[in-house]
Amino acid sequence: MAGESIYDIPISQIKVADTNVRHTERDKELDELMASIKKHGLLQPVVLEGEYGKPPYELIVGQRRFLAHKELGRHTIRARFAGKLTDLQATIRSLVENMVRVELNHADTAHAITQLYKKYGKDERKVHAETGLSIRRIRQYIDVEERATPKMKQKLRDKKTTLIDIQRVFKAAAGDSSKAERLLEKIDKLTKYEKDNLVEYGELHPRADAEKIIHEAQKPRIERTIMVKLSERARQGLKKAADKLAMSPDEVAAHALEDWLSEQGFISE
């Protein structure tokens, strides 16, 4: 059965498939991966499309491992075969693999998720079933891919902004992409509470320009705060999520609570 046997495949017989979803940060932490391979060998074989003995082969999972082997001057790499896959199946394999390893760039993820969404007839439930992503996160990625300007996407690639801040300026800009760009230039200088103000004021005053929205966002306001006692397990999980998502712990907690309330039907989308 395809995928069960492991073979040593010549590097020269392999090319990276077009369906591989990682287009940026291919070299991220590559030195560390190379050092690990030199010391421990390749712990997880790459996955190739095709049939053993019938090169050339297309690499669909393990691009960074493949590049590390090339940099190390290795002539072969351990690989499994996935058999013949459709482009959709290959994209799903690449997407899921990348998302559980070095974090795939948000802009690349948004593009891949949107492509799956379109291929599945714009059925977000099918994308959820294939990737494990929440419906909320799938919608966020689709929103970024379809609405963000090239400049905004580049800021995501360069890690000069976050997915959640992109969502904030979308809401505050009331569909105006140029206004959203201007807000994004300023939002990183705001506190979490000022960012909340920015969204609230922008939604209530859709004709306000970016400068007015920023000015109003920086005005003090009274916050409604809920004190919650967390278990140590929940506290550790909250910290881990905040670090991974580049958000503050209270932002993660607020979104988690909103997601749960939405799933239970207490608030509407």
How far apart, in whole angstroms, are the C-alpha atoms of residue 251 and residue 167? 13
pTM of the model: 0.49
What is the length of the chain? 269
What contacts 112, CB < 8 A, 6 or more positions away? 21, 91, 94, 95, 104
The token duo for 175 is 């569909």
Q: What is the pLDDT of residue 93?
A: 64
Mean pLDDT to the nearest integer, 8-22:
79
Q: Supply the DSSP string of 127-146, one letter for each residue.
A: HHHHH---HHHHHHHHHHHH
Q: What is the pLDDT of residue 135?
A: 84
CA angle centred on 82, ends 135 and 74, rounded to 5°: 110
Q: What is the rounded average pLDDT for all residues in the chain?
A: 82
pLDDT tens by residue, 36-89? 788 778 878 888 888 888 899 988 888 888 999 999 999 999 998 887 777 777
More confident residue, 234 or 13: 13
How far apart, in whole angstroms, are the C-alpha atoms of residue 223 and residue 69? 54
pLDDT tens by residue, 183-201? 999 998 998 889 989 999 9
Tell me the fold of 7-86.
Answer: 3.90.1530
Q: What share of the chain in percent tops pLDDT 70?
A: 84
Q: What is the pLDDT of residue 1?
A: 40
Residue 28 has pLDDT above 90, yes or no: no
Q: What is the pLDDT of residue 236?
A: 85
- 58 DSSP β-pair partners: 15, 49
The token duo for 70 is 């090339």
Give residue limits of the domains in the chain: 7-86, 229-257
Mean pLDDT to the nearest integer, 25-43:
72
pLDDT band per the 50, 70, 90 thresholds, residue 21: very low
